[in-house]
């Protein structure tokens, strides 16, 4: 019992947890933003709207951890899509619906800067081997690239 109490107190008194030696899987695009987390997140949201995509969800593990008394590095999963693409996707392949929305993952580093990671839509939709999806995914690749470029300015 005393050991558990010491561990909990240690977690609460320690600073935010940051992952060391981060390894991303093949096919994951990684952008070292060199910008503070909060500022980049705000710019990312603006860029998403400016490129005619919508934020359909925002997941926050930091918020959940805070609710149980644990402090971890800031992070968000920003889920984006556009209803026009949703209609095209489902017309081409009902099973591909599981891939929407697209996800952009933003994580705070120890120095306070943000790292963005995501899979290109062409990679996400490639397993379906559907020419209509492939065309749509290439269009989405360009949109996501534009979002990332604009957010980085």
Ordered by where they begin, the domains of the chain are 28-151 (3.30.310.70)
With 60 as the cut, is the pLDDT of residue 6 above it?
no
Q: Span 43-70, mean pLDDT?
A: 98
Q: How far apart are CA 84 and CA 4, in angstroms?
A: 52
Token reading at 8: 């909990």
Q: What is the mean pLDDT of the chain?
A: 90
The Cα angle at residue 86 between residues 146 and 140, in degrees rounded to 5: 20
DSSP 82-105: -HHHHHHHHHH-SGGGGGPSEEEE
So what's the pLDDT on residue 18? 52
So what's the pLDDT on residue 108? 97
Q: Span 83-104, mean pLDDT?
A: 98
Provide the whole-model pTM. Answer: 0.85
Beta bridge partners of 28: 119
With 60 as the cut, is the pLDDT of residue 20 above it?
no
Q: Span 57-72, mean pLDDT?
A: 97
């Amino acid at each position: 019992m005393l050991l558990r109490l010491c561990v909990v107190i240690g977690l609460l008194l320690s600073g935010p947890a940051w992952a060391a030696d981060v390894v991303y899987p093949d096919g994951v695009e990684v952008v070292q933003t060199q910008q503070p987390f909060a500022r980049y997140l705000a710019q990312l949201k603006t860029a998403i709207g400016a490129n005619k995509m919508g934020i359909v969800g925002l997941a926050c593990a930091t918020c959940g951890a805070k609710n149980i008394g644990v402090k971890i590095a800031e992070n968000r999963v920003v889920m984006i899509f556009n209803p026009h693409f949703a209609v095209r996707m489902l017309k081409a392949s009902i099973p591909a619906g599981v891939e929407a929305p697209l996800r952009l993952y933003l994580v705070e580093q120890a120095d306070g800067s943000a790292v963005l990671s995501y899979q290109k839509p062409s990679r996400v939709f490639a397993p379906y081997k559907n020419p209509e999806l492939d065309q749509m995914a290439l269009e989405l690749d360009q949109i996501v690239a534009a979002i990332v470029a604009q957010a980085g300015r």
